[in-house]
Amino acid sequence: MDTNDKPISELMTRTVCEVPTDWSAEQILEKMQAMSVSSVLVVEERLTLGIITERDVVRNLHRKGGLKGLGCTDLMQAPVVTVEQTENCLDVYHLMDGRRIRHVAVTDAEGLLVGIVSESDILRDFGVEHYMRFKDVGGAMSVDVILLPETATVGEAVALMDERRQSCVFAVDAGRRPLGVLTERDIVRLCHLHDDPQGLTLATTMHSPVRTTHRDALLHDVVQSMDAAHIRRLAVVDSEGGVCGVLTHHEVVHGLEGQYVSYLKDMIQEQEKVLESRQVAVSEKRLLENILRSAVGTAVIAADLDGRVSYCSPAVAAMDKLQVFAAPDCDLRQALATLGWPEASELLTPQALANGRLHVQLLAWMAEGKSAHAELQVSLLVDDKNQAQGYLLLVR
């Protein structure tokens, strides 16, 4: 998989399942089931207004007690996260992982819809070298798996799926051996067939038998078998046949984070001349060490000792509040003051941040009538001799 120079247009799905804003929940569920899709986009005149996913169906069923009488605008998430079709695949993946979303709408330069990309689209482009990072299923699987008895209700399953952001529930016996599975797609089907499916039991609604794999199975072989069978998840079992984890497309794609760091290194090398012209003598190794201290989904901004911003990670452009940092000749101190941290100018000195000290500030604001917040963390960027060369700002 050589994604460093590949645009997302090469991976996206061009045939998008679209619905208008005046559709009812019943119409949307029928279309999702008929077309076997995990999401639909709410579109008017090629402008993407919202997105409805299987997870939105699960969430609304749990929190609103049913979907009867709901409309398109009740179900959809808005605004939709979008990227231009020329964006690099790895940047798009990192955006999805940081936002914890599984679908991104793709637009042309004018913002008009041209396609959609999902984790499954990214997964299909993986080469054998990606799977060698993990080798076996145990290295990629998630141990956060929901297990219930087959007597449990759909309502109980949906509540756990919503609260733990899981895509399925396994019904198991007393020995944790799998009896059946209930997925987000099953919830869409049940909501289409029943006004209120929450009182039904897993025994009457689950799929059985359950496809399983062992934790020591080769990951590449298992993913190939999943693709051949057109399934998105497997129960992972131990030597006694008990469920010990789950393998979904999300877990496999999540391993791409390591490749994103490698991509950052390549990008830093390409910008070396620009950095040198601004007298930023930070080594690639040291800059990567600072970046690796950040969590997935964190925006990264680097500046020289004068406060001039010299690097912004792709996550910066994805957050409206942070786009001030991407402006030409942005001054880090002034930008932080604009965000509501005027004291930052006093803290942005090598002396205040010496010996690995960090300064953290929490910011809160209102966006589209909703409360939003972020954590800002400032530290020094140092060279191989531990000499200060600039500042690193992480925004979560």
Task: Give the pLDDT confidence of 131-159 residue by residue, as tens digits.
Answer: 555 578 887 888 999 999 999 999 999 99
- Split at pLDDT 50, 70, 90, the class of 174 is very high
Alpha carbons 341 and 339: distance in angstroms, whole number? 6
What distance lies between CA 270 and its chain's CA centroid? 27
Residue ranges matching CATH 3.30.450.20 in the chain: 272-395
pLDDT at 268 over 70: no
Angle at 129 between CA 128 and CA 131, to 5 degrees: 70
Domain 134-254 is of which CATH architecture? Roll (3.10)
Q: What integer pLDDT is reported at residue 284 of this predicted model?
A: 53
pLDDT tens digits, one per residue of 185-243: 999 999 999 989 999 999 999 999 999 999 999 888 888 888 888 888 999 999 999 99
The pTM (predicted TM-score) of the whole model is 0.62
Its CATH class, for the domain covering 272-395, is alpha beta
pLDDT at 124 over 80: no
Alpha carbons 130 and 123: distance in angstroms, whole number? 10
Alpha carbons 188 and 36: distance in angstroms, whole number? 10
Residue ranges matching CATH 3.10.580.10 in the chain: 8-118, 134-254
pLDDT at 19 over 90: yes
pLDDT at 368 over 70: no
Of the CATH numbers 1.10.645.10, 3.10.580.10, 3.40.640.10, 3.40.50.1000, which one belongs to the domain with range 8-118?
3.10.580.10
- Split at pLDDT 50, 70, 90, the class of 290 is low
Q: What integer pLDDT is reported at residue 354 of this predicted model?
A: 79
Angle at 333 between CA 328 and CA 339, to 5 degrees: 90
- Split at pLDDT 50, 70, 90, the class of 287 is low
Alpha carbons 190 and 39: distance in angstroms, whole number? 16
**To the nearest whole percent, how much of the chain has pLDDT over 90?**
38
The closest alpha carbon to 76, from 22, 15, 118, belongs to: 22
Q: Which residue has the higher pLDDT, 299 or 85?
A: 85
pLDDT at 92 over 90: no
Among 40-49, 179-188, 373-382, which stretch is predicted with the lowest mean pLDDT? 373-382
pLDDT at 255 over 70: no
Q: Which residues pair with 142 in a beta bridge?
A: 246
Q: What integer pLDDT is reported at residue 68 of this predicted model?
A: 87
Q: What integer pLDDT is reported at residue 211 of this predicted model?
A: 94
